Amino acid sequence: MITALLRNRDYLRLFTAQVSALFGTGLTTVALGLLAYELAGADATAVLGTALTIKMLVYVTVAPIVAAYADRFPRRGFLVALNAIRALVVLALPFIDQVWQIYALIAVLQTASAAFTPTYQAIIPDILPDERDYTRALSAAQLAATMETLLSPMLAAAALLLMSYHWLFVGTAVGFMLSGALVLATRIPNAGTVSAGSFRERVVLGMRIFAATPRLRGLLGLNLVVAAAGSVIMVNTVNYVRDTLGGTQTGVAILLAANGFGTMLSALLLPRVLDRVEPRPVMLTGAAVLLTGLVSIVALSTAGAGDWRWGAALAAWAVVGAGTAAVLTPTGQVLRRSAQPADRPALFAAQFSLSHVAWLVAYPIAGWVTAGAGFTAALVVLTVLAVLGIAVAVGMWPRHDPAEITHLHAEGTIDPARLVDAIRVGEGIYQHTHAFIIDAEHRRWPRTATATVG
């Protein structure tokens, strides 16, 4: 059970710190929209669209660069400093009076977030070394993100009944400061080994691991499926409810809640499933569920009028939520299996960036194609994108995916003293088994042989 994890005080503090920061971010999203409207009026959507684009670009570019130096600093102090930066930025937002200042502060805020998230994700496996506990922690993280999506707007609405939206920024800053205090009270082990190599090598390390590891190349395809389906939920729900279903703002909230309910239900059921089933079939099933949800929405967009469409839409949005959780929840488990502890920050940062590249592709399709050619046309393009992502995942991620990979190195190309499980199998040839295609040994010593399996 997820509740059993909370008996671990260090994990409890970290999890509470994550939840506090998530809700702070959610309040900022609401307050930022109101601030943009105050400064730009009818052009507020353009301001928010630009701010979101800046956010995605920062996520794609900054995370690998920060990861290259993250293991040079004490991880606890690093996370506390990032929370302090985020708190100061949101406290400055109520005092700005120019649109360009929003863009500048958002760039700083999201840079700190792009550094915080992968660093935090890489710490959890060290706090919870047991595979079963870690799987439940991934599910808990998914639940926390879902609850934030559902509850943050409600909290903001309740607060706005009593105060100006400017005070939401203060609430956000309090959330970040509380998160920093909880991190400060947590025992966080520093990275055991500092990544070697030049700055450029450290920056591209996570990308190299992705390129060399079959299961991670398959994960790239799954990122595309999640973005294709998720962009419909994030971008098109409002217009679909108001223009197609003839609903109100309440209808928008209900449809988004259905998506959140599907995500929550799936995340609650997944830990027991992942105890018995490997991540690959679970994640591919999730991708198929996402595709089913997309096809259902395409069918709804071309169907005739009728009250029955509300029930069908609720089901389709819930299906997309369930599929999203089925893909995202085991992702950390896959990343953990694919890198040594010293390389986890780089790998989690690479996943953070590459997954947002997929969103950078999907968001414009959901928005611009809908505006230019209609909702159904955008849905068809996104469905094709999802099919392509599933094809990449199935083709790149082999059905036989052992946790450990046995391969050979010529003598002199690797230090056998560093390999406890090395076996001399022939003249000048060493064989050893480990779970990584690129690891510390491969970076420090020239590699002359490839993996024999995987």
Separation of alpha carbons 192 and 123, rounded Å: 11
- Beginning with the edge strand found earlier in the chain, give each strand of the sheet holding 423-426 in spatial order: 405-410, 429-434, 423-426
Separation of alpha carbons 247 and 239, rounded Å: 10
> Domain ranges in the chain?
1-191, 212-401, 405-444
Residue 3 confidence (pLDDT): 64
Q: How far is CA 308 from the centre of its chain?
A: 34
Q: Which residues does residue 410 pair with via DSSP β-bridges, in sequence order? A: 429
Do 123 and 14 contact (CB within 8 A), yes or no?
yes
Fold agreement (1-191, 212-401): yes
Which range has the worst mean pLDDT, 29-43, 163-177, 277-291, 329-343?
29-43
pLDDT digits (tens, 9 = 90+) for 381-395: 999 999 999 999 999
Separation of alpha carbons 361 and 354, rounded Å: 11
Q: What is the mean pLDDT of the chain?
A: 77
**What top-level class would CATH report for the domain 1-191?**
mainly alpha
pTM: 0.72
pLDDT tier at 445, thresholds 50, 70, 90? very low
Please, where are the H alpha helices in 96-165?
A: 99-127, 131-160
Q: What angle do CA 332, 333, 334 make, to 5 degrees?
A: 90
Is CATH 1.20.1250.20 what the domain over 212-401 is classified as, yes or no?
yes
Residue 284 confidence (pLDDT): 96
Does residue 90 surpass a pLDDT of 80? yes
Does residue 92 surpass a pLDDT of 60? yes
Residues near 130 by beta carbon (within 8 Å), at least 6 away in sequence: none
Q: Which tokens sit at 338?
A: 């694919």
Separation of alpha carbons 153 and 410, rounded Å: 59
Do 386 and 290 contact (CB within 8 A), yes or no?
yes
Q: Which span out of 147-156, 226-235, 311-320, 348-357 was modeled with the highest average pLDDT?
A: 311-320
End-to-end CA distance of the chain: 33
